[in-house]
Amino acid sequence: MTALPLPPVPTRVVAAPMAGGPSTVALAAAVGEAGGLGFLAAGYRTADAVAEEVGRLRATSTAPFGVNVFTPVPAGSASEVRAYAELVAPRAAALGVELGKPVHSDDDHAAKVAVLAGLRPAVVSFAFGLPPAESVERLHAAGVPVWLTVTSPEDAAAAAAAGADALVVQGWEAGGHRGGLSDPEPAQLGLLPLLALVRRVTDLPLVAAGGIGDGRGVAAVLAAGAALAQLGTAFLRTPEAGTAPVHAAALAEERPTTVTRAFTGRSARALVNRATTELSGAAPAAYPEVHFLTQPLRAAARAAGDGEELHMWAGQAHVLAEAVPAGELVRRLAADAREAMAAARF
């Protein structure tokens, strides 16, 4: 089957989907209006809430946008989750809350795909491996391009065979969850080698993600063969993003990041804090059970402005993130990328 084409993105800048608060209708609209591709994040929301957000976005902007959906993953070990619950219970108690119920869930996957096949956004991207074949078929039948996230050349070959129209190539530098097929042993390839290795196995358009923090980074991935650059962390401090204030402030600090399962049970890159330091060695591979287990604890920490118990997702270039309006950021990234391309000509 011929791949469905990319939507027009004059600036080549995609604002990554960021579930759990940061992605908002206002952010997607501002990015789209500036000539980028905005994304809504369907993760952790109901199918009805996703439909409502799509409606609000369409009422605000006529620009194309994408929606990102999680792929269901297998359940983890119940006994490992119980042991982890014992370890984190005192931390919840210290914040005056009880731990949540560590349930397994498919995040309403099929219902969201059905809703999106009806609403037909410009793109539906998936994180956490290959979605069920019916999901891809349903979206294709509605004419909706499907982007699959990959973190290794093996992922890329599998995603191409599964009918992807483009690949979101996520390097090890990236903030947030590892989006590919491999967890609990995530592939650790940096973005530049990953782009080159993925290109050996497929001709599909590549959307490069991970550690891109400025226009030079955008230029670098375009020169490395990507069609588009997808940035997440760079947008976290824009006023349109729904980032927790304590998280937005911490991004500006010179501090390291680490890849940890401590907060959700799935590997994700976050700013180092007390929780990552004390819990990363013990956290089981059990997503989303650990997400639901620690959710009340993290919500309490967020409300209290406590950055030590909160998951503060961040890519390696997080100090480059600026508190500027998202539209201005998109325009500046594109202008700086053009300048960097011209300067690099030889």
Ligand X SMILES: Cc1cc2nc3c(=O)[nH]c(=O)nc-3n(C[C@H](O)[C@H](O)[C@H](O)COP(=O)(O)O)c2cc1C
Q: Where does this chain bind ligand X (CB under 6 A)? A: 16-19, 22, 41, 43, 68, 127, 149, 170, 173-177, 179, 209-212, 230-234, 313, 315, 317
C-alpha span between 4 and 141 (Å, rounded) = 11
Is the CB of 4 or the CB of 209 nearer to ligand X?
209
Question: How close are the terminal C-alpha atoms of the chain, in Å?
Answer: 39
Is the CB of 16 or the CB of 116 nearer to ligand X?
16
Is the CB of 19 or the CB of 85 nearer to ligand X?
19
- To ligand X, the closest distance from the beta carbon of 96 in angstroms equals 26
- To ligand X, the closest distance from the beta carbon of 194 in angstroms equals 12
Is the CB of 85 or the CB of 250 nearer to ligand X?
250
Phi, psi of 317 (to 5 degrees): -95, 30
Is the CB of 46 or the CB of 80 nearer to ligand X?
46
Question: Token digits for 130?
Answer: 């290959």
Burial 103-124 (b: 16+ CB within 10 A, else e): ebbebbbeebbbbbbebebbbb
Distances in Å between the Cα of 22 and the Cα atoms of 41, 109, 258 are: 9, 20, 20
- To ligand X, the closest distance from the beta carbon of 336 in angstroms equals 16
Nearest Cα residue to 169 out of 183, 154, 161: 154
- To ligand X, the closest distance from the beta carbon of 346 in angstroms equals 28
Is the CB of 44 or the CB of 89 nearer to ligand X?
44
Q: 18 Cβ partners below 8 Å, 6+ apart?
A: 39, 41, 176, 232, 235, 236, 241, 313
- To ligand X, the closest distance from the beta carbon of 267 in angstroms equals 12
The β-bridge partners of 176 are: 269
Amino acid code (one letter) for 34: A
- To ligand X, the closest distance from the beta carbon of 192 in angstroms equals 14
